[in-house]
Structure 1
């Protein structure tokens, strides 16, 4: 039995653009994990949408995303908990117009200071990225936690 060759359907992006997106996520996730909320939410367009199957309704706009991120960061600090987002398997495709579609897996670990680190959950993340004033921003983020139903 022979196997048919894999046919890529997506539009390839340049190695330079792929590296730029990797750098974006490295900086973005580090800001989140270090509770630098303004830096993290500054990567979202003002009208961005953040949807997840962990919430019944999406967060709409940078202000709402910031309010939720600040509350989450405060809770983690009060509990003495460190959270790390390990982003892997980055796939970048040219989207419609000037947008990019970036898909990743995120392994989120939790460590109570003085305790052991543990895997908290695994997610699939799909971002629509746009370039504005020379840098990348998130226009729409969809996160699916593996431990929750997708709908």
Structure 2
């Protein structure tokens, strides 16, 4: 299970880092909810996820930086029906045109993963909560899917 979850996040984050907003959003269920501690309202559904990812890609391009998400330290809890609750840490690196890199932010990601009902049975994110270190609105394990 650990290897499958790690591979899922590697593919998902690579899509985001490469600017593939549609491909990244396709790793979520159609009715997914994405909460980010730096945004006042969650994004709901793939259309909002695509729009949010496109905006982020454009904002990053405007800085002249390349971002890389390194996600790991997975805590995986399997629930009845195959639902997975995953908690992980992500370090986001920013590299400028000269090749100098720095840590942009460190985050905790709390996800609910489900299997695609189609033939592939791939993992998809149904709910995601990203808490950026240093933000005042703390999120704690077990709160995935609940409004603050």
Report the TM-score when normalising by structure 1.
0.85
- The separation in 1 between residues aligned to 2:105 and 2:79, in whole angstroms, is 28
Partner of 1:101: 85
DSSP 3-state at the match of 2:81: coil
Q: In the TM superposition, what whole-angstrom CA distance separates every residue of 1:115-134 from its partner, at most 9, and x where no partner exists?
A: 41110111100010000121
DSSP 3-state at the match of 1:104: strand
Matched positions, count:
135
- How far 1:135 moved relative to its partner? 0.6
Report the TM-score when normalising by structure 2.
0.86
- The separation in 2 between residues aligned to 1:149 and 1:105, in whole angstroms, is 18
1:149 equivalent in alignment to 2:132: no
- The separation in 2 between residues aligned to 1:97 and 1:73, in whole angstroms, is 35
Q: In the TM superposition, what whole-angstrom CA distance separates every residue of 1:63-95 from its partner, at most 9, and x where no partner exists?
A: 001101001101212322101111120111113
**Of 76, 96, 102, which residue of structure 1 is paired with 2:60?**
76
- How far 1:150 moved relative to its partner? 2.0
- The separation in 2 between residues aligned to 1:66 and 1:116, in whole angstroms, is 29
Partner of 1:4: none
User: What runs of 5+ residues in structure 1 fail to find an aligned partner?
Assistant: 1-16
Q: Specify the structure having the higher radius of gyration (Cα).
A: 1
Runs of 4+ more than 6 Å apart: none
